[in-house]
Chains A and B, each alone.
Chain A
Amino acid sequence: MESNWAVEHLQTIRTLMERSAVYRRALAPIMLFAGLLGVLAAGGGIVFHLDSTRAFGGLWLGTALVAVAGAFLIARRQALKDHEPFWSPPTKRVAQALLPPLTAGLVVSFVAIGVLGNNAENGFNLLLTLNWLMFYGCAVHAAGFFMPRGMRLFAWICIGLASGSLVLLMIISKALFPNAHWLMGFFFGVLHLAYGAYLYLTEKGKNAA
């Protein structure tokens, strides 16, 4: 009886200690970088008419890859500058939390693009966009557990916008929706820039993992 109580206590302590290691490294620069990249990719997609499903998917999956690599480098640079280990326990937990939803989103995208290929129409790109936003929101929310509270709010905004747009897509004609690049530019560009600016203004000088 007493042993169970002690085990539960130890488990609670362990959970709280894990939760306590908040990841705060370079979130504002990462968000600004991702946002800028999103806006540039959207501009490129619109200007060069990359509207076929393969071109659309290729452009945005490539952009995501560059964004992840850039985020990795920014976080590493900050760790080196602060003489701290990069692969710290909070970094590991954030990576572990991000990975499942991002992998699921990637697999779904590859399968969908592979199956439908270039036969899909613009409506499919819209669906792809909202699917990405949904998975991305889930990933950020999972990682947001170890980050400042605003991160989870940002994730809910992504999930809410994706869900709302999906409902709208069902109700009204997809022709009334803007080009999917515009949506991507707004969701992954403007939203990140706005959140990055918010973080930059409110958490300046407080970045440490």
Chain B
Amino acid sequence: MNPEPFFQLDRVIHEKGRLAIMSMLAASPKLSFTELRDALTMTDGNLTTHIRALQQEGYVAVAKSYQNNRPLTTCSLTPAGRKAFAEYINLLEQIVRQNKGK
């Protein structure tokens, strides 16, 4: 078996929590912090940490605004994030195909 695809997997995205965030954002133009937290049943702190890691990598953009006089934080994938996510999926599919062919 060629172990190459496995080692090419993006370690930042590969973590369970961050992969979940990336998956959610890949299917929606943007999601609020609350929507992500509720959908993924994460704590505020946990979600903040993961989002910060993805933001530092340039995969996620965070925008802060106000709605009904309340702060609203929305997250979206950056073009780099979208590309990295697509590559991650491709590699996963490659691993599956490779093992099926054995």
Contact = CB atoms under 8 A, between A and B. Distances in A.
Interface string A142-177: 000000110000000000000000000000000000
B23 A13 contact: yes
Interface stretch (B47-55, B56-64, B92-100): B92-100
Interface residues on B, range: 20 to 34
Nearest to B25: A20
Interface in A17-43: 17-22
Contact of B27 (A3, A17, A204, A206): A17
A17 to B, nearest CB: 4
A9 B25 contact: no
B28 interface: yes
B25 A2 contact: no
B19 to A, nearest CB: 7
Q: For chain A, which range describes its interface: under 10, 10 to 19, 20 to 34, or 35 or more residues?
A: 20 to 34
Given A10-B92, A12-B23, 7 more contacts: A3-B96, A6-B96, A20-B27, A20-B39, A22-B28, A22-B31, A206-B67
A19 B40 CA distance: 10
Interface string B17-45: 00110011111100100010011100000
A10 B31 contact: no
A3 to B, nearest CB: 3
Interface of A: 2-3, 6-7, 9-10, 12-13, 16-22, 148-149, 201-202, 204-206
**Residue from A17, A149, A202 having most chain B Cβ neighbours under 10 A:** A17
Given A10-B93, A13-B89, A20 B68 contact: no
A94 to B, nearest CB: 15
Contacts of A201: 68
B96 A20 contact: no
A17 B31 CA distance: 12
A16 B21 CA distance: 9
A204 B66 CA distance: 12
A9 B19 contact: yes
Nearest to B94: A6
A16 B13 CA distance: 14
Nearest to B30: A208
B38 A149 contact: yes
B24 A2 contact: no
